[in-house]
């Protein structure tokens, strides 16, 4: 399977990377995809979980956290109930997911397992450098990432 990789580069004035992750997850779910949102750590996963209950306003995004101590550890290829899962480790992205939204600072291993990989690039300079490394990594794998400049959404 060919993986389409998209980089969403946030402007200083744009809403947060987490809000964009919610919006992209909602759009993918509405198109029938199963989504994993990869966070840098457990604290970020908890924060994103809370945000998904309230954002986007007036919408419901069915989601769950997946990981150690959350009742889904060690299920391997099991199909989780919620169409959107929040994970703090790329190792926990289920095989049943076809879209991954990456909020982490490292490239997703074996991106060819997925139909789409959505990389969100925050406005902070140190985060931009990590995203440049990810972009180069995907190029080395033979993928052709596409860049989207996001002013507002």
Q: Looking at the domain assignment, is residue 74 inside a domain?
A: no
Nearest to 120 by CA among 105, 141, 133: 105
Per the CB < 8 A criterion, the answer to whether 35 and 100 are in contact is yes
Q: Looking at the domain assignment, is residue 14 inside a domain?
A: yes
Rounded to two decimals, what is the model's pTM? 0.88
The pLDDT value recorded for residue 111 is 94
- Structure tokens given for 141: 């794998």
- Report how far residue 92's alpha carbon sits from residue 56's, in angstroms, rounded to the nearest whole number: 25
State the residue range of the domain holding 44: 4-69+80-150
The pLDDT value recorded for residue 108 is 94
Chunk the chain into consecutive blocks of 10 residues (it has 153) and report each block's average pLDDT, rounded to whole numbers.
92 89 96 95 94 90 81 45 89 86 94 95 88 96 96 79
Q: How many domains does the chain have?
A: 1
Q: Looking at the domain assignment, is residue 75 inside a domain?
A: no
The pLDDT value recorded for residue 68 is 64
The pLDDT value recorded for residue 41 is 93
Q: Looking at the domain assignment, is residue 107 inside a domain?
A: yes
Q: Looking at the domain assignment, is residue 24 inside a domain?
A: yes
- CATH number for the domain including 64? 3.40.50.10110
User: Reading across the β-sheet that carries 116-121, which strands appear in turn?
Assistant: 63-66, 84-87, 35-38, 99-102, 116-121, 4-10, 146-150
- Report how far residue 33's alpha carbon sits from residue 17's, in angstroms, rounded to the nearest whole number: 20
């Amino acid at each position: 399977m060919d993986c389409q990789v998209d980089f969403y580069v946030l402007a200083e004035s744009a809403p947060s990377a987490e809000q964009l992750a919610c919006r992209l997850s909602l759009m993918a779910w509405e198109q029938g995809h199963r989504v994993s949102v990869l966070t840098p750590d457990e604290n970020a996963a908890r924060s994103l979980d809370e945000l998904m209950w309230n954002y986007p306003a007036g919408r419901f995004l069915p989601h769950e956290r997946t990981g150690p101590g959350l009742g889904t550890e060690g299920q391997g290829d099991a199909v989780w109930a919620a169409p959107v899962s929040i994970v703090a480790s790329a190792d926990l992205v289920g095989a049943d997911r076809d879209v991954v939204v990456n909020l982490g600072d490292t490239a997703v291993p074996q991106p060819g397992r997925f139909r789409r990989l959505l990389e969100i690039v925050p406005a902070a300079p140190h985060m931009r450098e990590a995203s440049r490394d990810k972009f180069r990594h995907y190029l080395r794998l033979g993928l052709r990432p596409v860049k989207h400049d996001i002013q507002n959404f």
